[in-house]
Amino acid sequence: MKVGILGGGSWATAIAKILTDNGAKINWWVRSVEQADHIKEHKHNPRYLRSVEFLDGELELYTDLDKFLECTEVIIVATPSAFIHSVLAAKSLSDKKIVSAVKGIIPEYNLIPAHYFSEYHKIPMNDIAIISGPCHAEEVAMEKLSYLTIASEDSALSKLVADKMDGRYIRCSVSEDLVGTEISAVLKNVYALACGIAHGLGYGDNYMAVLVSNAIQEIEQFIDHAYPLHRDVKQSAYLGDLLVTAYSLHSRNRRFGNLLGKGYSLNTVKQEMNMVAEGYYAAACINELAAQHNVELTIANTVYEILYKQVNPRSAFIDLSKKLY
């Protein structure tokens, strides 16, 4: 089946590298004509992971979304969650297989991508998969050994995607926990914001270890309550993804939180960041979902209050520190 990538950012570029390095010829939709023309002429993305080079014949570039959808059967969605609905709302996707590389919530519907594509676009859950880390695009560009988990309720689909992505510097495993993996990927961005805020405030490694330990417990509590299924959150798709996002200097969510902790205003931080920090949008949605499921997420709620209730980060973390153990 013809595989295509929707999105022109760093993760989309990294996935394009992974697939083409494994010999796949792929379709690639980007919004900007200038970006598409640059990739065609110079064989690299002018804005993201510019060191990644593509060969002639590996990519079919599109800026016309309708033509891209017509020619693509398996769509890897690598667009920030805040923009997915505006891009795809009017499109028919019912005959497509969707692979979400998004780690955020669709804010218009407060849904994880799997549920958005299922409920809004009427795609069967068996035709939906997710690509989960721990994996940063920057390290893929440098071909550092990385690990991915492909989760789907249909083992044939997860295996199809895993086979296409597994290669010299990528190791893939598969899982049936589509929803749990995806909601964990959303939550870890919120907790990475918390880690960044703590670092910006001057908290040390000892505190950070306790913060992350409590964070994985909150993730387990929420997904086990909201989406009951036997799972081991110590696996890399859950704990590993949290750790790399919480600690890595490549993490845009950690960087976003770090600036807040250092005293920058929210508006200033938004202007400073040239990439979307998914945790910002996720914090509000997770707060609402936690209330719906009657689950107390102490750390996530602290981040929500800082971002949306204008609570002072230092005073919020003084209060939070009394609740950690």
> Are the C-beta atoms of 214 and 298 separated by less than 8 Å?
yes
Cβ-based neighbours of 241, under 8 Å, separated by 6 or more: 132, 133, 134, 184, 185, 188
CATH superfamily of 180-321: N-(1-d-carboxylethyl)-l-norvaline Dehydrogenase; domain 2 (1.10.1040.10)
> Are the C-beta atoms of 76 and 5 separated by less than 8 Å?
yes
The vertex-16 CA angle with 67 and 142, nearest 5°, equals 160
- Binding-site residue ranges: 10-11, 31, 48, 83, 103, 133, 137, 188, 241, 251-253, 276, 278
- With 90 as the cut, is the pLDDT of residue 276 above it? no
What does the pLDDT average to over 38-53?
A: 94
- Which of 150 and 250 is assigned the larger pLDDT? 150
Other beta carbons within 10 Å of 35? 17
Domain boundaries, the chain: 3-176, 180-321
Looking at domain 3-176, its CATH architecture is 3-Layer(aba) Sandwich (3.40)
At 125, which amino acid appears?
M
In the block, tokens 């979304």 appear at 65
42, two tokens: 């110079």
- Per-residue confidence band for 277, with pLDDT thresholds at 50, 70 and 90: confident
User: Which pLDDT score, from 0 to 100, does residue 128 have?
Assistant: 98
Order of strands across the sheet that contains 170-175:
59-62, 26-29, 3-6, 74-77, 97-100, 128-132, 146-152, 170-175
Percent residues over pLDDT 90 in the chain: 90
Q: How many residues does the chain have?
A: 325
What are 154-172's pLDDT values in tens digits?
999 999 999 999 999 999 9
- Binding-site residue ranges for NAD(+): 83, 137, 252
The vertex-15 CA angle with 106 and 245, nearest 5°, equals 60
| Cα distance between residue 174 and residue 131, in whole Å | 10
- With 80 as the cut, is the pLDDT of residue 274 above it? no
DSSP secondary structure code for residue 129 in this structure: E
- Binding-site residue ranges for sn-glycerol 3-phosphate: 103, 133, 188, 241, 251-253
Read off the pTM.
0.93
Nearest to 215 by CA among 276, 297, 154: 297
Percent residues over pLDDT 70 in the chain: 99
The residues with which 198 forms a beta bridge, in sequence order, are none
What does the pLDDT average to over 202-220?
A: 97
DSSP secondary structure code for residue 108 in this structure: T
The residues with which 75 forms a beta bridge, in sequence order, are 4, 98
What are 86-95's pLDDT values in tens digits?
999 999 998 9
| Cα distance between residue 306 and residue 312, in whole Å | 6
- Per-residue confidence band for 275, with pLDDT thresholds at 50, 70 and 90: low
User: Which pLDDT score, from 0 to 100, does residue 1 have?
Assistant: 82
Other beta carbons within 10 Å of 119? 12
| Cα distance between residue 22 and residue 167, in whole Å | 6
State CA 43 to chain mean position distance. 25
DSSP secondary structure code for residue 111 in this structure: B
- With 90 as the cut, is the pLDDT of residue 36 above it? yes
| Cα distance between residue 307 and residue 286, in whole Å | 13
Q: What residues are annotated to the active site? A: 188
What does the pLDDT average to over 233-247?
A: 95
- Per-residue confidence band for 230, with pLDDT thresholds at 50, 70 and 90: confident
| Cα distance between residue 74 and residue 71, in whole Å | 10
User: Which pLDDT score, from 0 to 100, does residue 56 have?
Assistant: 86
Nearest to 167 by CA among 188, 198, 151, 143: 143
Give the dihedral of Cα atoms 38, 39, 43, 44; nearest 10 deg: 100
Other beta carbons within 10 Å of 240? 18
